[in-house]
Amino acid sequence: MTIATELPAFDPSSTSTPPADAAGRGTDGHAAPITMLNPDFPFSYDHYLAHPDGLGSVPPELYGTEVAVIGAGVSGLVTAYELMKLGLRPVVYEADQIGGRLRTAAFPAAPGVVADLGGMRFPVSGKAFYHYVDLLGLQTQDFPNPLAEATSSTVIELAGKKHYAEKPGDLPLFFREVADAWKAAVNDGAKFVQMQDAIKARDMARIKDLWNELLPLMDEQTFYGFIAASDSFKKAGFAHREAFGQVGFGTGGWDTDFPNSILEILRVVYTDADDQHRFIRGGAQRLPEALWQHAPSDMAHWPAGTSLSSLHSGSPRGAVGKISRDQDGNLRIRERWGREASYPAVVSTCQSWLLSTRIHTEEALFPAELWTAMERSHYMQSSKTFVMVDRPFWKDIDPETGNDILSMTLTDRLNRATYLLDNGPDQPAVILLSYTWNDDALKWLALDADERVELMLHSLEQIYPGVDIAGHIVGQPITVSWEADPNFMGAFKANLPGHYRYQQRLFTHFKQDRLPESQRGIFLAGDDVSFTAGWAEGAVTTGLNAVWGVVKHLGGASAPGNPGPGDLLDEFGPISLD
């Protein structure tokens, strides 16, 4: 639960979308749920995926045609999986491991105990993401966010003052005022309630009307500028703004996003992306791995039992080193170690900076404005450090206070956020000692894992004097700084003010009918091309855009009763600013 929004009526065991009528009511009479219906392009990808007519077709003479897919993260594998189902032959290239930023690491001393290094908590409003989670039979569970029902207790420690809460109402009134100020700011300044109503009703026209009016006003505004200019926070004063940066909404700790465009934040809060999170049992990487292994039953062309793994004899091809165009118009891919192949279409799902920094990509393949958009992309830094402990000892009760001895913690100290991840009583458990962003993440960059852990334990000792966390640690810590990994160079994109035009170019590039022939056939996907970077939903949905683009490019079409994203883009897609 967030402290800034009310908990909607919702059954957490269900992630499926009940059918909604035009008034946004489900057939059971309850309000339809919020979905990640992005206001820039409120296309219902979940309905598109669930439609019995499927995602379209290619002419049978094209069955078996190879299409290159760069990257075996969730975006690349959704793309490859759907292309395979249509009878094409995806050829996946991967520089490192299957999973990308849904990477899960196991503690060597107890390989069943895992840590999600990238994406770890997935909002139930991300219906396209859960389409694949459900299809592949993965089990999910409530994620222990601050003040969530799955969280036994939360400590907020600000300027040395500690507040213990088992539910939001346990916090001092001050935090209620902070939450109310935020609610008022998004209602007054960004039509929050109207937008959520339109999203619940899946009223595309209304969503677009509301958003298109706000967009030009908001594109030049930072997140911080937005709250500082709001009447509610002006009235409340600096201390409330400061605390909002610490506890924020949903996952808390949003002040490292303060320089980003307010549009990015509005997309998150309108769609409940920061609320009602679940994690995948066994680790997030299970999803891309299952996509790789799964043999769909309803495929064109391929015999039963065919999977991405079987089409690749068990392993993707290697890292891509070069992309160019042959004389005959095909796209040529050279792997870093020399093997070459050419394709009528290529989908690139790696972070787009890599197309200029790590892959020698022929400049003429993209319009100059698109290169500008890629180069101007702004990536967040992020660092996580995990330790394994012998058992979930934080459930022990302090006899003096009656409180848990250790809680999910939000603090303004170095650690910023500490999460407690339970694997059951008397089982080894995991503490995510510190999860940080941007400047906070850069403080860890130059330190090794042990140095990081020492400092993090020092911070926690100040908050929980006398609690011997170190005495419970077993095995080696696991740490990651995504900006230090050459296959990513950052955690994920977050647009700065004035970046809307770049984002619009990147997102709409999959519809190529206005491009010259010489720039067609190469598609961008992945969460940094989406309007919701940092959420796996954006990786999935841009993969589906690329599938639509490839089908169209090769001479195929959408199913007549199930228009695809490119069919509705002109009508409902992101508007152009001047």
Residue 261 or 348 having the CB closest to ligand FAD: 348
* Residue 8: Cβ-neighbour burial (10 angstroms; 0-12, 13-18, 19+): middle
**Which residue, 472 or 505, is less far from ligand FAD as judged by CB?**
505
The residue within the footprint of ligand FAD, chosen from 365, 417, 539, 544 (CB under 6 A), is 539
What minimum distance in Å lies between the beta carbon of 485 and ligand FAD? 8
Please tell me whether residue 252 binds ligand FAD under the rule CB under 6 A. Answer: no
Q: Report the C-alpha gap between 120 and 103 in whole angstroms.
A: 9
**Contacting ligand FAD (CB under 6 A), which of 1, 32, 74, 113?**
74
Residues 6+ apart with CB under 8 A from 51: 559, 561, 562
Q: Among 44, 125, 381, 382, which residue sits at the site for ligand FAD (rule: CB under 6 A)?
A: 382
Distances (CA, A) of 509 to 369, 530, 540, 557: 11, 11, 16, 18
Residue 96 lies near ligand FAD (rule: CB under 6 A): yes
Which one, 3 or 72, has the nearer CB to ligand FAD? Answer: 72
Both tokens of 194, joined, read 């109207």
Q: Reduced to 3 states, what is the DSSP secondary structure of residue 94? A: coil
Q: Which residue's CB is nearer to ligand FAD, number 201 or number 323?
A: 323
Q: In angstroms, rounded to a whole number, what is the distance separating the alpha carbons of residues 556 and 81?
A: 17
Closest to 506 measured CA to CA, from 476, 472, 538: 538
Q: Which amino acid is at 211?
A: W
User: Rule CB under 6 A: is residue 91 a binding residue for ligand FAD?
Assistant: no
CA-based nearest residue to 391, from 421, 435, 432, 434: 421
- How far is 38 from 273, CA to CA, in rounded Å? 10
Give the end-to-end CA distance of the chain in Å, rounded to a whole number. Answer: 40
- Nearest distance, CB of residue 281 and ligand FAD, angstroms: 15
Tell me the window of 8-16, 27-35, 70-78, 228-236 that interacts with ligand FAD (CB under 6 A): 70-78
Report the residue number, 103 or 200, with the smaller CB distance to ligand FAD.
103
Taking the complex as a whole, how short is the minimal distance between the CB of residue 311 and ligand FAD, in angstroms?
A: 17
Instruction: Among 258, 444, 535, 548, indicate the residue that binds ligand FAD (CB under 6 A).
Output: 535
| Encoded tokens for 160 | 């040395």
Q: Is residue 323 near ligand FAD by the rule CB under 6 A?
A: no
> Can residue 290 be called a binding residue for ligand FAD (CB under 6 A)?
no
Counting DSSP H helices and E strands in the chain, the numbers are 19, 22
Q: Per-residue DSSP letters for 360-420? A: EE-GGGS-HHHHHHHHT--EE-EEEEEEEESS-GGGSBPTTT-SBSS-EEEESSTT-EEEE
Instruction: Give least dist CB 526 to ligand FAD, A.
Output: 3
Angle (nearest 5°) at CA 484 between 482 and 486: 95
The residue range among 178-186, 242-250, 485-493, 496-504 that interacts with ligand FAD, by the rule CB under 6 A, is 485-493
Which residue is associated with the tokens 């603090």? 411
Question: Is 534 an interacting residue with respect to ligand FAD (CB under 6 A)?
Answer: yes
Q: Where are the alpha helices (DSSP H) in 343-431?
A: 354-357, 368-375
> What's at 88, amino acid-wise?
L
Instruction: Sort 348 into a burial class: Cβ within 10 Å, 0-12 / 13-18 / 19+.
Output: buried
Question: Do residues 185 and 225 make contact, with C-beta atoms less than 8 angstroms apart?
Answer: no
527 touching ligand FAD, by CB under 6 A: yes
Q: Which of 320, 374, 405, 431 binds ligand FAD (CB under 6 A)?
A: 320
The strand pair at 360-361 and 320-325 is best described as parallel
Taking CB under 6 A as the rule, does residue 283 contact ligand FAD?
Answer: no
Residue 571: count of CB within 10 angstroms of its CB: 10
- Establish if 387 lies at the interface with ligand FAD (CB under 6 A): no
Task: Among 43, 81, 93, 182, indicate the residue that binds ligand FAD (CB under 6 A).
Answer: 93
**393 is a site residue for ligand FAD (CB under 6 A):** no
75 binds ligand FAD per the rule CB under 6 A: yes
Minimum CB–partner distance for residue 206 and ligand FAD (Å): 26
Q: Are 406 and 469 in contact (CB under 8 A)?
A: yes
Nearest residue (CB) to ligand FAD, 17 versus 542: 542
Cα–Cα distance measured from residue 276 to residue 363, given in angstroms and rounded to the nearest whole number: 43
Rounded to a whole number of angstroms, the minimum distance from the CB of residue 234 to ligand FAD is 32
Cα-only R_g, the chain: 24
Minimum distance, C-beta of residue 80 to ligand FAD, in the bound complex (Å): 11
Tell the smallest beta-carbon distance from residue 73 to ligand FAD (Å).
2
- 226-229: Cβ within 8 A, 24+ apart: 226/185, 226/189, 226/190, 226/262, 226/265, 227/182, 227/185, 229/189
H/E run at residue 231: helix 231-236
Tell me the residue length of the chain: 578
- What part of residues 489-508 is at the interface with ligand FAD (CB under 6 A)? 491-492
Q: Is residue 479 near ligand FAD by the rule CB under 6 A?
A: no
Binding ligand FAD (rule: CB under 6 A), the pick from 89, 121, 240, 511 is 121
Q: Which of 33, 90, 119, 574 binds ligand FAD (CB under 6 A)?
A: 119
Minimum gap (Å) between residue 462 Cβ and ligand FAD: 25
- Number of residues near ligand FAD (by CB under 6 A): 40
> By CB under 6 A, is residue 76 in contact with ligand FAD?
yes
Contact string (CB under 6 A) for ligand FAD, positions 98-117, x = contact: --xxx---------------
Nearer to ligand FAD, 556 or 565 (CB): 565
Question: Binding to ligand FAD by residue 444, rule CB under 6 A?
Answer: no
State phi, psi for 570 to the nearest 5 degrees: -65, -35
- Subset of residues 332 to 371 that bind ligand FAD, contact rule: CB under 6 A: 349-351, 354, 358-359
Binding site for ligand FAD (CB under 6 A): 70-76, 93-96, 100-102, 118-122, 319-320, 349-351, 354, 358-359, 382, 482, 487-488, 491-492, 526-527, 534-536, 538-539
